[in-house]
Structure 1
Amino acid sequence: MIDLLLQQPSTAVFVTSKLWRNFVSPTPDPATINKLAADFRRGHYQLKPLMRALLLTPQFWRSRANW
């Protein structure tokens, strides 16, 4: 079942969007989400590189300035 889910590109987009909403903004940026999701798939769904990339986005740092 997990293998079937991981074969779907939408799985990477879903996971990336959920993390984005939690750590960056309630409104995902489609271009950034798609790039991060593609990198996530290429990286064999490893979370550590995805989180690093997400936390290094300019959008993450702009959202922190509003705290």
Structure 2
Amino acid sequence: MMIALYDENGTLKELKTEKHTVTANSANEYSITYSNSAIESGDYIKAFLWNSLENMKPLTEAKILR
């Protein structure tokens, strides 16, 4: 899982990664924390879930949080 923090212009500000094992057709919740000082007005977060960092095949569409 990769969580990317972008500014209002789409410039990457910060990237965090974590490894998780997921099962097909399952629902899971995970959290990654950003400090409030890192997030400014207009910033957004985009979450990616891939099969691995080596292959980077998407397991689902990226989700955007504004």
Q: Same fold judged by TM-score > 0.5?
A: no
More helix by share: 1
Q: Name the one with the larger strand percent.
A: 2
TM-score, with length taken from structure 2: 0.31
Compare relative contact order (CA 8 Å, sep 6+) and give the higher one, 1 or 2: 2
TM-score (norm 1): 0.30
